[in-house]
Structure 1
Amino acid sequence: MTNLAALLLALAIVAFVLEMLRRKKLREKYAILWLLIGALTVILAAFPNLLNIASELLGVQLPSNLLFIMSILLLLGVCLHLSWELSILEDETRTLAEEVAILRAQIEAITQNETPATTQKRDGD
């Protein structure tokens, strides 16, 4: 019964990720990771002995401990990847803000240079 619940949960995760992809709520580069997690969960739910075999091969006493270790490592990887993406976005935001400030200064300079000229034309008319 537990395996059936895990299998249904894994299929729900895969379906949810595919639906988010379809609605353009999730980018493909992130969806690949979540689809991989869902596929691995489906495999482990369908063949629960794989976790027992892997824990014996790796020398982990309990299969649940191996599952928790794998989950923690996966979450650390996701956090590291998101931190990397955030750093890139901060650099891009800073660059864009600097470019906007330069453009704004140029527009103000052009506006100040044109204002006396238009005033002189009106005065001369």
Structure 2
Amino acid sequence: MVAIVLVLLSKRQLSEKYAVMWLVIGIAAIIVTVVPGLLERLTDALRVQLPSNLIFGGAIVLLVGVALHLSWELSRAEAEIRRLAEEGAINRIECEQLAERVAALERVGDRAPRLDDAHDAPGDDEGRPSSELQR
């Protein structure tokens, strides 16, 4: 179990916060397996009738804790997704409004006389050099 968690962690397929929990569980399982009589002493200390009952009770508590934690994480993720979706919708509307304003300004700009057109128009400055026009 510890080796699998380490491989998943190295491949970035398991988050560090979950890896710590699984590593602690795996190391605890190794300790209980390696140290003879530890499970019986824990069973007596906690006043549980059988060592298997202690293992199953601990597993149930652990699984309920994991389910609660995952539900909490899911709730946070849903709230974040909702917030991001709302921000995305607002940004899309703002972009559409800006695109409409740019299009409207371009239409107005197409109808407005251009500076080049003003120099081509007949007037009293015709034939004068541009340096005289600037004065």
Per the shorter chain, which TM-score range? 0.7 to 0.9
Name the aligned partner's letter for residue 82 of structure 1.
L
Gaps of 5+ in 1: 1-12
Consecutive aligned runs of 4 or more in structure 1 exceeding 6 Å deviation: none
Cα-to-partner distance string for 1:10-34 (whole Å, 9 max, x where unaligned): xxx1011111111111111110000
Matched, 1:42 2:30: yes
Gaps of 5+ in 2: 114-135
Matched, 1:19 2:16: no
Q: How does 1:61-100 map to 2 (within 5 A)?
A: 61-100=49-88
Q: Distance in 2 between matches of 1:116 and 1:58?
A: 78
TM-score (norm 1): 0.84
Matched, 1:107 2:70: no
What is the CA RMSD across the aligned residues, in angstroms? 1.4
TM-fit CA distance, 1:124:
5.2
More off after superposition, 115-124 vs 27-36: 115-124
Secondary structure of 1:109 counterpart: helix
- The higher radius of gyration belongs to 2
What is the aligned-residue identity percentage?
Answer: 45
Q: Distance in 2 between matches of 1:15 and 1:58?
A: 30
More off after superposition, 92-101 vs 109-118: 109-118
Name the aligned partner's letter for residue 90 of structure 1.
E
TM-score (norm 2): 0.78
Pick the structure with more helix per residue: 1
Q: Distance in 1 between matches of 2:96 and 2:103?
A: 10
Secondary structure of 1:55 counterpart: helix
Match of 2:128 in 1: none
Name the aligned partner's letter for residue 112 of structure 1.
E
Q: Distance in 2 between matches of 1:27 and 1:62?
A: 35
Could you say which structure has the greater relative contact order, defined with CA pairs below 8 angstroms and 6 or more residues apart?
Answer: 1
Q: Distance in 2 between matches of 1:48 and 1:81?
A: 33
